[in-house]
Amino acid sequence: MTEQQVLQLAAAAMVTAAKIAAPILLTAMAVGFVVSLLQSVTQIQEMTLTFVPKVLAGGLAILFTGHWMLSTFITYVHALFASIPSLLAGG
């Protein structure tokens, strides 16, 4: 296994992880922005007001994009397992 192959595997793993985490992170970021905007307008500084909507939105994001995230991960793992013989053979 060469350094080039290791770097390709690491890059593919990071890209896949970013694609899988993006729906949840972007949803939580958008909800956090809206809640913080509402808090600054109304001057209500309650900690649970920021936490609960993010958790609910994250759950909804998993509910709606969970199938896509799982299929993306399974596709990556299948490709990784399929490449094992060529990686062990040295090329």
The set of residues, in sequence order, having a beta carbon less than 8 Å from that of 46 and lying 6+ positions away, is 39
Q: Dihedral of the CA atoms 26, 29, 32, 73 (nearest 10)?
A: 50
This prediction's pTM:
0.80
Domain residue spans of the chain: 3-89
Three-state DSSP class for residue 56: helix
What's the mean per-residue pLDDT of the chain? 91
The set of residues, in sequence order, having a beta carbon less than 8 Å from that of 67 and lying 6+ positions away, is none
R_g of the chain computed on alpha carbons: 19
Question: What pLDDT score was predicted for residue 91?
Answer: 56
- Measure Cα distances from 13 to 9, 35, 47, 49, 72 in Å: 6, 33, 35, 35, 11
Nearest to 24 by CA among 54, 3, 67, 46: 54
pLDDT by residue (tens digit) across 16-38? 999 999 999 999 999 999 999 99
